[in-house]
Amino acid sequence: MIFAEYLLLSSLVLGVQLFLHQTQRIQFVEVNDSAKIHCSSTENLEGGSSMFWYLRREGEKPTCIKHCLDDQNVGKFVCKHETHSSTLEISNVQKTESGIYYCAYRYSSYLIFGNGTTLIVGDSYTNSSWVMLLVPFPWGSQVTGTANLACVIHGVSSLVHVSWSVSGELQEQRLTHSLKAKDGSLTLINHISVPMDTWTSGKNFTCEVKFNSSGTSVKKSTRYLTVHPSGCVPQTVRYAVAIFLVVLMVSLSLAWSHCCSNPGNQHTTVRPGCGDVAAALLIVGLISQKMTKLENSSTIPSLCPD
């Protein structure tokens, strides 16, 4: 989130007219194939000698992987330039090179960044992968006037592409928070916030997850359902959601303790930043509060009549 804000401020503060734009928001490639990531500019890039490329892997800070000044058209990363564009070519890509790639231009002592291209290498789906939609209950969102929905993707080996649509209309791309398990698998949480009247309008909310370049995807859809005249929510649904939230909260809490209680840990295994874990805990915590309010509401009977 801090890096995203920096990308915006890098242009606003400088007041310059040069803007970098990466039209490919996401790109799938197979392992050992080549990838090309494009970056266009509103101004002359002067041969590309001031161009850089950064990679932000999941759970890590962005790192500079290429300064185009030292490009000799050899090696893993190669820069190709035109007057108003720069292309990063990556040969023999591996799954460890999945992440978000940013082009950057050095202007004086500042860097101006592009909007980023997500590169997903290979298939992120595993035998333990599943997708679940978490939705708000009507009693929990009345105060804020906002409905929060979360798409949870569990047990993936790498990044995935998550998109939201409301009755077929694509929504703005959201940030994804991640947690890494001891076996290296990832749990990703992507959420959107919409006005309460949008949620209660009866429109279909769909989370679509793409795991690989084959085009196949998993879609989970939901819509706001009015309460049964008896004020009853099926008991099995309530129990299922409650059990899932308890398990997820315990897992996230353990990850939080492991991540943040030992700041001196020098293990080389990449773990998510504490900020990402805290954000994920906050999302699930808010939904848990909504569930608790539902369970304690006197307007809902303990059992559903047949």
- Which tens digits make up the pLDDT trace of 50-82? 899 999 988 788 999 998 876 566 678 999 888
**Residue 42 three-state SS:** coil
Average pLDDT, the chain: 74
The one-letter code for the residue type at 26 is I
The token pair at 12 is 């606003």
Q: What is the largest CA-CA distance in the chain?
A: 74
Write down how long the chain is. Answer: 306
* CA pseudo-torsion sign 87, 91, 95, 96: negative
CA-wise closest residue to 242 among 146, 124, 145, 134: 134
Question: Looking at the predicted structure, is the pLDDT value of residue 305 above 50?
Answer: no
- Which tens digits make up the pLDDT trace of 181-229? 888 889 999 989 889 889 988 899 999 999 987 767 899 999 987 655 4
What pLDDT sits at residue 18? 83
What DSSP state is assigned to residue 256? Answer: H
